[in-house]
Structure 1
């Protein structure tokens, strides 16, 4: 496996290549801003190899995004562009760091009895519902005393435009969605997004979540393990950004290793 520096280079090259099929790239100083459909936005990122990013470049990127109807968002590899967090905060964004992990020594974990997995097809009528679960991590509109799962009929799905983009991405192989079912109901979802980077396939796992009622049974870890196995059938590198240190430790159980940190900056709530 490449050195840590080489792996961080791979993450940056993946991030630069991932938006190209969806958006045109507009420079904002040291940042590249993908301008495309609001149904599937990509964050602005520092150009690979960029050292220092001034706050004015972040402000310029935000203007481009908001003029295009896109959310103000910047992401970066902290170890490669350490100045960007302070620049984002100076520009009025809320900046946070999250664990960045890469598959090192994958471990196959079994799912609980009665839970089965399948890869979702582009024509599956439930795909918009699975997309909603990917984006909300099974969050109910309200939490009752028994923390029951929400009724699928009560959940809002993604917009028609976003559902259409997702179907196209699944059909073209640019997004792979996997769902875990128990008694016909989804109890876990996850996805990954393969990109050809200079002849090497790299993929990012996103949105792995399990039903609150099934947590602690190993559904999430088993699903992550299955996603890694499926992704590694064609990908040379698999990575992800974890929501926090506790989640990162779950991924370590399935063979991920800590690589660094992902910086994420966005408008503060009600900002």
Structure 2
């Protein structure tokens, strides 16, 4: 069963960028290059590659990413391409081995049982949609700048400072992807404090990945991350999604997702250049 599941995941990873980026093949790797503004994509093993990407392939992709001014990002699933871990490290990359988890729908709780903070799905037809998208991104920026699940000082003031105005093209893309079912966004917050946690999901046919789940440090340990994840998962299942998965940033964060009905099935590898001290 896991073999078929990993095949579906690989097809998903390959499909997500293709409507917003062009694909360049470098040996056993494919590099997705976005045309225009937006979140830069990754390089991954090619679906049809006959062999594990080589050190030369990794070097070529990194040179091309530098040439284009892109992050030197390489991602793969360890169970699908196990030999790439040693190759990436030999190339001088630092590799995050993130727990790869899939949802057991029977164990998914009601988000309302996880926190007393209201959770809502973003509506692309609402007057406040632009502000909601900007808030979702700002919460993520602040939340991910303080990794982990521990409480901290950063809160609504830091979120507001991180808000940036979206250009028309970015907002139109966000709206279109929600309307056609390829994206889903959620905010958790109160009228007094505004958005405290956020998350999103990307969907291709009947497979979806939950990503970007973040909570302002000052609001942590209140069940917000779990509630956001559960709300996204419930919406995805209601839309006919058959496979819902995510990658946890650490074993500590993975425990949050265990509460929501996810179980670990493998390891998602995310490689980037080793930071210089």
1:177 counterpart residue number: 185
TM-score (norm 2): 0.84
Task: Pick the aligned partner of 1:230 from 228, 235, 242.
Answer: 235
1:106 counterpart residue number: 107
Mapped to 2, the partners of 1:168 and 1:41 lie a distance apart of: 19
**Is the contact made by 1:108 and 1:226 (CA closer than 8 Å) also made in structure 2?**
no
> Structure 2 regions of 5+ residues with no counterpart?
none
Question: How far is 1:40 from its partner?
Answer: 2.0
TM-score (norm 1): 0.86
Specify whether residues 98 and 158 from structure 1 end up closer, same or farther in structure 2 by C-alpha distance, changes over 3 A only.
farther
Mapped to 2, the partners of 1:148 and 1:103 lie a distance apart of: 31
**Is the contact made by 1:134 and 1:207 (CA closer than 8 Å) also made in structure 2?**
yes
Q: How many residues are treated as equivalent by the alignment?
A: 260
- Any residues of structure 2 matched to 1:185-264 within 5 Å, and which? 185-196=194-205, 201-233=206-238, 234-264=240-270
- Structure 1 consecutive aligned stretches of length 4 or more whose deviation exceeds 6 Å: none
Question: How far is 1:255 from its partner?
Answer: 0.8
Q: CA RMSD in A?
A: 2.4
Question: How far is 1:43 from its partner?
Answer: 0.7
Mapped to 1, the partners of 2:258 and 2:10 lie a distance apart of: 22
- Any residues of structure 2 matched to 1:88-127 within 5 Å, and which? 88-104=88-104, 105-109=106-110, 110-113=113-116, 115-122=117-124, 124-126=129-131, 127=133
> Structure 1 regions of 5+ residues with no counterpart?
none
Q: Give the secondary-structure state (helix, strand or coil) at the position aligned to 2:271.
A: strand
**Is the contact made by 2:134 and 2:163 (CA closer than 8 Å) also made in structure 1?**
no
Mapped to 1, the partners of 2:152 and 2:2 lie a distance apart of: 44
Mapped to 2, the partners of 1:159 and 1:18 lie a distance apart of: 22
Question: How far is 1:132 from its partner?
Answer: 2.4
The reply on whether 1:34 has 2:36 as its aligned counterpart is: no
Question: How far is 1:232 from its partner?
Answer: 1.0
Question: How far is 1:27 from its partner?
Answer: 0.5
Q: Give the secondary-structure state (helix, strand or coil) at the position aligned to 2:39.
A: coil
